[in-house]
Amino acid sequence: MNRPRNRQSRPSRLQHSNNGLTRPGQGRHGGVPTIQQVIPGASVSIILKEDQPTGQETPGVVKDLLTKGNHPRGIKVRLRDGQVGRVQRMILSDTIAPNQSSANHIAELGDISTSPREGTSGFPSLPPQRSLADFIPNVDNDPPSDEPTHNPDTLFSSASIKCPICNHFEGDEAAVSHHIECHLT
């Protein structure tokens, strides 16, 4: 059956804006950030997959890069809070988004000293130095006197019981219960 072709015109790949022609994926600011700008720890504004129709942006701090190179609609990233989306713009790190409370922002940054006299010059403090010996418990060679000493032979012995039906079979609990089932079937 011959059907007529769809005669609706297809929109061009170039979109008209107030300041001239732009390509899809480029906003009025000339495009999305590049792979050189988006690094783990950077403050960005992303569009989540479910927010693509509305264009609502979500601010956050980059945890992982999920795109290996530049992408016309934005580099896909995972934020520290687990959300995944495409980066639309970079955010200055000292600004807090209106929907992000200052308590959450401080919790993300951790313990940061703002005084240059303290020597940390605004960076989070490092954890204390540890070695493998810090994680090994101290073991005394002499056992405490209130604990009974164990004979190595008794440590790995199991209780032996006899079959209550025939009184001939002897073994551990699992073997005896299997033996009893054989009597009953």
- The CB-based long-range contact list for 5-10 (8 Å cut-off, 24+ gap) reads none
Q: Residue 32 burial by CB count (10 A; 0-12/13-18/19+): exposed, middle or buried? A: buried
- pLDDT of amino acid 21: 44
Residue 77 DSSP class: E
CB 43 within 8 A of CB 60: yes
Q: Which tens digit of pLDDT belongs to each residue from 125-160?
A: 677 788 878 878 877 665 555 655 555 555 555 678
Q: What is the pLDDT of residues 38-90, one digit of tens each?
A: 999 999 999 999 998 998 999 999 999 998 888 899 999 999 999 999 999 99
- Which residue(s) pair with 21 in the sheet? 16
Please tell me the predicted confidence (pLDDT) of residue 46. 94
